[in-house]
Amino acid sequence: MSNVVLKADGTVKLPADVRRAAGFKPGDRFTWVPRGNTIVLVPVLTIAQLRGIAEGADTSSLREP
């Protein structure tokens, strides 16, 4: 577990071991999602990264006849 410090300008630096474990790369974009007194860091995916995400999903029950 790595500790970080919130700087006066509001920035937080993600430690290298956390970035490597999560596969984060320079230029990646994120959204902060508050959950009570916890904050979840969620990567923002591009359309290209989302392509094929639902491949093989059964959509037969999603619409009324």
Expressed in percent and rounded to 5, the helix, strand and coil fractions of the chain are: 15, 20, 65
How many other C-beta atoms lie within 10 A of the C-beta of residue 29?
A: 9
Q: What is the 3-state secondary structure (H, E, C) of 35-53?
A: ECCEEEEEECCCHHHHCCC
1-55 pLDDT, tens digit each: 789 999 999 999 999 999 999 999 999 999 999 999 999 999 998 899 889 988 8
pLDDT at 62: 76
- The tally of domains found in the chain comes to 1
Residue 64 has pLDDT above 90, yes or no: no
Return the percentage of the chain with pLDDT > 70, whole number: 97
State the pTM of this model.
0.61
Q: Which domain holds residue 39?
A: 25-56
Q: Look at the block and give the residue holding tokens 């956390």.
A: 18
Does residue 12 form part of some domain? no
In a domain, 32, yes or no: yes
Sign of CA dihedral 15, 18, 23, 29: negative
The answer to whether residue 45 is domain-embedded is yes
